[in-house]
Structure 1
Amino acid sequence: MKTRVIGLTGGIGSGKSTMAKYFASLGVPVYIADDEAKKILLEPQTVKEIAEVFGDEVMVNGLPDRKKLAAVVFNSPEKLSVLNSIIHPKVREDFRKWVDNHSNEKFVIKEAAILFESGSYKECDDIILVTAPQDIRVQRVMQRDNVTREEVLSRMDNQWDDQKKAALSSYIINNINLNDAKKKADEIFKLLKDW
């Protein structure tokens, strides 16, 4: 029996990471794509490619600096696309190996902020979308990352809106109240387990 891949996504500040941790607490193996991408960013081959494409302005002590890189790519869709073309294939390959290592599981979860935007949603059997109203999401990110409202909105501009994502999602968790969100996650977990 093939291990089913469940995508877990949501816009910035939606609480998808919180939901990923909750599913992990239920015993589901969870692959956090952003964490793996951060590791891949520091691999020698990736460092070389980043330095060649983006130059010294994004490097600190010979390694890519994520804040400097973000400042460059979040203001330029073209540069963001170039960065994604370097990182995403490496994350995709890493994820495939990870799934192979969890082949005895009924299902696993891949948590990714840009599951739809990267096209990797096509490799998922089902998708869970975590949503919250934009004003709540903006407040969460401003508090979490100590950034301005404008910076948060700029990041949101690089992500699909919830309506577009919802049309392609199997399940939706509305994460305004964490207890309600966990109850919905429990329902989804049971459905996936019994599938």
Structure 2
Amino acid sequence: MMVVGLTGSIGMGKSTVSKMFADEGIPVFDADAEVHRLQGREGALVEAIEASFPGTTGQAGVDRGALAERVLAAPEALRQLEALIHPAVARAREAFLAKHAADPIVLLDIPLLFEKEGWRAVAKILVVSAPADVQRSRVLARPGMTAEKFAQILRQQLPDAEKRARADFVIDTAGSLDRTRDSVRRIAACLRAEATA
């Protein structure tokens, strides 16, 4: 099995690209989606997060905005949250890999692939990227996002230029969806050829 890592900074279009790979028949583990599940209504981490960060959960699960306010500017609080989340996501990822052990290629969609050393566990790295002005306009259009919050998030992430330099493939999402889909199809074909060689 070839394990491929997909990453990209906030607002680069990684979720869209991830779905395109799934449409190409490549099994995808979406770390963000797993975190949402763990923090959602009756999620496995809701109780532990409330115990560590009182007032950040409700009937719908974790209030992600309230939790972000609590941890983004507080490194120790962020480490405490990550100590809850990362082991749970790792268990889900291992279950995914076991389930797809017979597949020639699987894709791990991991936002902090470089930052949390996940790149060491993959054979190929795909980086989703767009120019900084495109990224900024996408992110600031999100509900509840502010320039300050965006800046805090960027400080937690490896700069885009460094990610691109370390990638096996870069997927530029500044153009049309069709152009991005064509790039995904070409890369999927290259990966399949290598995986079956």
Normalised by the length of structure 1, the TM-score is 0.89
Aligned to 2:190: 191
Aligned to 1:158: 156
Please tell me whether residue 130 in structure 1 is matched to residue 128 in structure 2: yes
Query: 5+ unaligned residues in a row in structure 1: which ranges?
Result: none
RMSD: 1.9
Paired with 1:101 and 1:8, the residues of 2 have a C-alpha distance of 19
> For the Cα contact (< 8 Å) 2:3–2:107, is it kept in 1?
yes
Secondary structure, counterpart of 2:171 in structure 1: strand
1:135, 1:149 → 2: CA distance?
Answer: 13
Deviates more, 1:91-100 or 1:74-83: 74-83
* Alignment match, 2:16: 18
Separation (CA, whole Å) in 2 of partners of 1:53 and 1:34: 21
Query: What is the alpha-carbon distance in structure 2 between the residues aligned to residue 24 and residue 80 of structure 1?
Result: 31
TM-score normalised by L of structure 2: 0.88
Equivalent residues in 2 for 1:173-192, closer than 5 Å: 173-178=171-176, 179-192=178-191
1:93 to 87, 91, 94: 91
SS of 1:89's equivalent in the other structure is: helix
SS of residue matched to 2:179: helix
Q: Structure 1, residues 16-68: CA drift from partner, whole Å, max 9, x if none? A: 111011111111111111011121235665233323322x2323249432221
Q: Which amino acid in structure 1 is aligned with residue 188 of structure 2?
A: F
**Percent identity of the aligned residues?**
31
Which residues of structure 2 form unaligned runs of 5+?
none
Instruction: Write the letter of the residue equivalent to 2:117.
Output: G
Partner secondary structure for residue 105 of structure 1:
coil
